[in-house]
Amino acid sequence: MSWWSSNVDVPAILESCGECAICCELLYEPFTAPCGHSFCRRCVVASLRHSAKCPSCRTTWQGIPAAPPVNATLAALLARLAPEAYAARGAAAAPLEHKPVARVGLFVLDHMLPKQRMKIHVFEPRYRRLVKRSLERDPPTFGIVGATPDNVMASVFCECEIVECTETPDGRYFCECVARRRRRIARDWVGDDGFRVACVEDLADDAAGDADAADAARLVTDLDGRLDLWLRRCRAGGWGASATLDAVLDDLGPRPAAAGPAVDAEAYGLYAAALINPLPPLGVAPEVRLDALRATDSLARLRLVDRALALSLRHLDPQRRATAVLANGLLRLARAAAALLLAPLASAHAAVASFVSRVARPISDVAGSQ
């Protein structure tokens, strides 16, 4: 006597056990997760980009490889039970898209753009453990991630290399880090060591169409001249007199090509954003680091930088600054007069202050008015 049943209802079996709960089609190249549920492996890869939980039972999956292995027995069974449908699924399947997924410890601190440099004093116990773990990697890296305006951790960040590190006798660290590459967080959690850990993918700009690429190349050429003007105004206004600007230029390295076939709109946009928004900030340009970091459209990033640069150039305009200096002098004078003459002239002081504050608006107001 056989151990199998002779009156098998194949369609009923396939309907109850052969369907992927994600795509609702016949399982193709099934992968069986640690919780025991099986899905097409392409569906698993796609699902993991949004959540690490099993779509059927909500168990949190851990340790799923970037290219989940096929459950060969189940695949063979399905191919025998429904040969035509299984072959059709195979013919229609796109290549398995498995971007390499890396695991990175995160320091929740600030946004950094590629090539930017930051010095950090690490004293919190969880971040001391993060640095210790990072130093075990080759090269020693961790992620530095900032918050969105809603105070939520951003989903993009730069993986940073620790280039200098000194440990104090009591276990704190003084680290110097350089942002190496943009990353996108696929999922993240608080690890056993108390700091956030993320599975990440590389982040790069999408390929541009011909029209956008031509617009981007023109904008790069245009931005290049205005970046020189911006540098001159920074230096003339006293911002470049400190070592800060020279150090920033040194960190960022050669400026990417601004003309000819070598124009790289992504590299140029990131360079320009990092230059006008350096770390520590010069405070002369609107903040664009997060938007520049998360953009995957080179032309959109260049336009963002273009707007920020225009505002910064206005802020640094020598004539406008002279007016601001004069206005500030008037304001101080008005305050002194008001203090001397007290109440009877208080209203005059308020009127002068109101006028002066309109003339000498700070850069943040100018940015806000756009």
Of 20 and 331, which has the nearer Cβ to Zn ion? 20
Q: Which of these ranges, 17-25, 161-169, 207-215, 237-245, lies near Zn ion under the rule CB under 5 A?
A: 17-25
* Residue range at the interface with Zn ion (CB under 5 A); choices 56-64, 99-107, 148-156, 307-315: 56-64
What is the amino acid identity at position 233? R
**Binding span for Zn ion by CB under 5 A among 20-28, 244-252, 281-289, 351-359:** 20-28
Figure out which of the listed residues 8, 10, 13, 57 binds Zn ion, where binding follows CB under 5 A.
Answer: 57
Single residue of 14, 44, 45, 54 touching Zn ion by CB under 5 A: 54
Nearer to Zn ion, 68 or 278 (CB): 68
Structure tokens belonging to residue 263: 């124009």
Cα–Cα distances in angstroms (integers) from residue 128 to residues 164, 171, 238, in the given order: 15, 7, 37
Query: Which residue's entry shows tokens 């229609």?
Result: 92
Nearer to Zn ion among residue 40 and residue 248 (C-beta): 40
14-22, 155-163, 314-322, 359-367 -> range binding Zn ion (CB under 5 A): 14-22
How many of the other CB atoms lie within 10 Å of CB of 211? Answer: 9
Kindly tell me which residue out of 46, 53, 56, 296 binds Zn ion, with binding defined by CB under 5 A. 56
Whole-angstrom CA distances from 65 to 59, 72, 106 are 17, 16, 21
Instruction: Give the nearest distance from C-beta 73 to Zn ion in angstroms.
Output: 18
Closest CB 14 distance from Zn ion, rounded Å:
14
Any contact of residue 75 with Zn ion (CB under 5 A)?
no
How far is the C-alpha of 241 from the C-alpha of 227, rounded, in Å?
17
89 binds Zn ion (CB under 5 A): no
Quote the least distance from Cβ 27 to Zn ion, whole Å: 6
Alpha-carbon distance of 152 to 200, in angstroms, equals 17
Question: What's the rounded Cα separation, in Å, for the pair 109 and 143?
Answer: 10
The residue of the chain with the least Cβ separation from Zn ion equals 20
Binding residues for Zn ion, total number by CB under 5 A: 10
Contact between 40 and Zn ion by CB under 5 A: the answer reads yes
Q: Is 41 near Zn ion (CB under 5 A)?
A: no
For residues 308 and 301, is the Cβ–Cβ distance under 8 A? no
Tokens 């336009």 belong to 303
DSSP state at residue 22: T
Q: How far apart are CA 33 and CA 44, in angstroms?
A: 9
CA-based nearest residue to 265, from 257, 254, 274, 277: 257
Which of these ranges, 46-54, 172-180, 252-260, 333-341, lies near Zn ion under the rule CB under 5 A? 46-54
Closer to Zn ion by Cβ: residue 36 or 368: 36
- Other CB atoms within a 10 A radius of the CB of residue 119 amount to 11
Distance (Å, rounded) from C-alpha 27 to C-alpha 43? 10
Closest CA relative to residue 217, chosen from 157, 185, 259: 259
Q: Looking at 39-47, 143-151, 282-290, 295-303, which segment touches Zn ion (CB under 5 A)?
A: 39-47
Instruction: State yes or no: residue 20 binds Zn ion (CB under 5 A).
Output: yes
- Cβ proximity to Zn ion: between 46 and 154 the closer is 46
Report the C-alpha gap between 274 and 178 in whole angstroms: 12
Binding residues vs Zn ion (CB under 5 A): 20, 22-23, 35, 37, 40, 43, 54, 56-57
